[in-house]
Amino acid sequence: MPTGIPRVLAFLHPLIALATIALIYHVATLGLRSRQRRGEDARPVHRRRAPWALAMTWLSAASGVAATWLWRQDLELASGWHFWIGLGVVALLSTGAALSRQVPENQTARRIHPALGLLALLLAALQVFFGMPLLPF
Ligand code: HEM
Ligand code: HEM
C-alpha cells in the first residue's frame, strides 16, 4: 500500500473516473432526450458534448493504468475485473462514437449507437463497485 504523496496521487484516477461517469450519464440523457417529441434541441448539444465524454473515458482508463504502474506496487497491472471492464467501457463507447456519423442516414446505426452507449454507461457504473476494493485506504 502506498504512503505519503503517492497515496494521495493514487486517488486522482478514481476522481477523474467519477467525473467521467457523471459526464457519460449527462451525454446519454441528452442523446435519449433528443429522440423525444420536442427534444430536438438536445441533439446538437449531445453531438457537441459526447466527444468530451469519450475523451474523458480514455483519460480514465489511461490514468488507471498509469496510477497502478507508478504508485500501486501492491497491485498487479492488467489483472482483475476492473481492468477488463474498463477496457470494455472504452471499446463500447469508441465503437458507438465511430458509428455516430452514420446515425442520421442509417437505421441500423441509429438503433445500435444508443445501445452501445447505454451498455458502456452501465459497465462504467459497475466500475464503482469493482474499483472500491482497490482504493488505497
Ligand atoms: C470509467 C470508469 C473507469 C475506468 C475506465 C477505469 C479503469 C481503470 C484501469 C484500466 C485501471 C488499471 C487496472 C489494472 O491495471 O489492473 C484502474 C485502476 C484503478 N481504479 Fe479504475 N476505472 C474506472 C472507474 C473507477 C472508479 C469509479 C473507482 C473508484 C471507486 C476506481 C478505482 C480504481 C483504483 C483504486 C485503481 C488502482 C489505481 C489507483 O490506485 O489509482 N476506478 N482503473
Ligand atoms: C453515452 C451514451 C450515448 C447515448 C445513449 C447516445 C444516444 C444517442 C441518440 C438517442 C441519438 C439520436 C439518434 C436519432 O434518433 O437520430 C444520438 C445521436 C448522435 N450521437 Fe449519441 N449517444 C451516446 C454517446 C455518443 C458518443 C460517445 C458520441 C460521439 C463521440 C455520440 C455522437 C452522436 C452523434 C454525432 C449523433 C447524431 C446527431 C445528429 O444526427 O445530429 N454519441 N445519440
Q: What is the pLDDT of residue 1?
A: 87
Domain range list for the chain: 4-134
Q: Does the beta carbon of 45 sit less than 6 angstroms from any atom of ligand 2?
A: no
pLDDT one-digit tens code per residue, 114-124:
999 999 999 99
How many Å apart are CA 120 and CA 117, to the nearest integer? 5
How far is ligand 2, taken at its centre, from the CA of residue 101, in Å?
9
pTM metric for this prediction: 0.95
Residue the block writes with cell 457537441: 48
pLDDT one-digit tens code per residue, 86-108:
999 999 999 999 999 999 999 99
How many Å apart are CA 7 and CA 32, to the nearest integer? 39
How many Å apart are CA 61 and CA 79, to the nearest integer? 14
How many Å apart are CA 31 and CA 80, to the nearest integer? 32
> What letter would DSSP give residue 106?
-
